[in-house]
Chains A and B, each alone.
Chain A
């Protein structure tokens, strides 16, 4: 590749200019505050981890991990999510901590990506992990908190789709017993959202008519609580039944939270089978092409770090929420300009400090008397005016003549 031009930065990373930066911080603050109010405490972990520990354990596929070498030649990764680092902490530094643990985070994460616009190499995630509780109650708490966090962050039109890896595992185990290849093939079709391929594969398996119809029917198992009842009829496999039971109980809890209108059940929605062990969910906002939140239960992860523990959680794609909400200029914020000359400096700076301590934004500037007069005039006529490219709402001069 030719040498980069001075304005260029690596593909997939972003600058956030003042307005966008402020908005991003605001989304992050609101989401974290919401999580805190549910008793989740924020944790910060390093940007870099070992490939052999956190890298391997993470749900990110190997070719999407951002790898680097340290001086000794050990492979490091830039964290690709926060779940694996938190699993490491829970199993090491927090080894003695009693369950359940409620942890939240906000962090930048990294992915090695194809060179294509819209796919990000670095982005922000805000999320939680609830460790040590295997119950439907815990899963529902996490989903309800995801909904509350989305609302807190300013997203108002969205839906959450919930699935369960156990249902398909059980159903396939029952109907395609011993046919591991066929099972994997069907799962990979569902994972890549290829319903046409799924139907074709089913056809090629030459199953009995009712089984064929049943397996094709699951493509339609989407909707509200009624889906639970329908699904209970589909498979008598113990795993599948237990999974649906789990979803039914979650649904009851979500109803009690008063958020079931946002939720739909989709039993074809499956996360990565090697990672998720129970319910999985994804959240979609209107007018945005990509999911804004994803999560699920991963009961096998933390034991890879030496402390077996059930866990469930989610991550908000904070950067995408920013796209959705836009970075429109905040209105109503007060910004005071204080102009002073040498004689008024001490008073001016003292006043600035007083105003700042009250929470007002204050910018100070040394000016000539003529300049202060000019500015004062400008300020007198309007609610807000622009001085050197910045919008102010008030002007206070500290100069010999007009001095306070």
Chain B
């Protein structure tokens, strides 16, 4: 493989800032990669990690698939929820098994079918597709946060959102009606990088898979 080994040898990794980052970097470390546990003290957006052969692009989680699809990042770590919503043309290589939660339909406990159903969500594509598959026509309202408010104040009769422990739901008197799909973080790759930097990506994949497999085995 002589053609690919010149400049740009660092693998560009789009990492989601925040919650998932800690778990992902821990997994990377367990796989033997020299990655610091936290960049909280720095506001740098691009962090070079030459010892690990990588350069991290610290991105907002929903933007990770976009960076990877356009090839400005070779690979990325992103939740299945974002992948389903964004529907980008990328390789989904590995289930990292971290940041486990689920996408669910949520409502007040006394929910009854209404004539003009409205569903509030941060995931309009996921919600539309799900209700379509269920044979229901609903109006989808896109919100950017505090989705739980919607049924409480009457903006929507149901919401579609990520549920981790269910704590927020219980505190606000909401119930999970059905689960749409399970969510974990995934390792994704750009179509071109997957070929041009195949060796680096495959070796990372193997290391991670071993670590994940060992954990699952315990």
Residues of chain B within 8 A (CB-CB) of A13 are none
Residues of chain B within 8 A (CB-CB) of A290 are 71, 191-192
Q: Does A154 contact B (CB under 8 A)?
A: no
The A/B interface has a contact count, at CB < 8 Å, of: 62
Q: Which of B89, B186, B196 contacts A286 (CB 8 A)?
A: B196
Q: Does B167 contact A (CB under 8 A)?
A: no
B192 engages A288 (CB within 8 Å): yes
Q: Which of B3, B71, B186 contacts A157 (CB 8 A)?
A: B3
A286 engages B95 (CB within 8 Å): no
B191 engages A291 (CB within 8 Å): yes
**How far apart are the CA atoms of A366 and B37 in the complex, in Å?**
71
Q: Does B132 contact A (CB under 8 A)?
A: no
B195 engages A264 (CB within 8 Å): yes
Interface string of B180-199 (1 = CB under 8 A from A): 00000010001111011010
Task: Please choose the segment from A33-41, A50-58, A190-198, A207-215 that sits at the chain B interface, where 4 or more of its residues have CB less than 8 A away.
Answer: A190-198
Q: Does B91 contact A (CB under 8 A)?
A: yes
Interface string of A134-170 (1 = CB under 8 A from B): 0000000000000000000000011101000000000
Residues of chain B within 8 A (CB-CB) of A222 are 198
Known interface pairs A118-B70, A196-B186. Does A286 touch B8 (Cβ–Cβ under 8 Å)?
yes
Q: Which of B3, B70, B92, B93 contacts A289 (CB 8 A)?
A: B70
Q: Does B52 contact A (CB under 8 A)?
A: no
Size category of the B interface is: 20 to 34
Residues of chain B within 8 A (CB-CB) of A261 are 2-3
| Chain B: minimal CB distance from A37 (Å) | 24
Known interface pairs A289-B191, A291-B192. Does A157 touch B90 (Cβ–Cβ under 8 Å)?
no
Residues of chain A within 8 A (CB-CB) of B38 are none
Q: Does A273 contact B (CB under 8 A)?
A: no
**How far apart are the CA atoms of A79 and B94 in the complex, in Å?**
38
Residue pairs across A and B with Cβ atoms less than 8 A apart, 8 shown, are A157-B4, A193-B89, A196-B92, A222-B198, A288-B71, A288-B192, A289-B72, A289-B192
**What are the 6 closest A-B residue pairs judged by CB atoms, nearest first?**
A289-B71, A284-B192, A193-B91, A194-B92, A196-B95, A289-B70
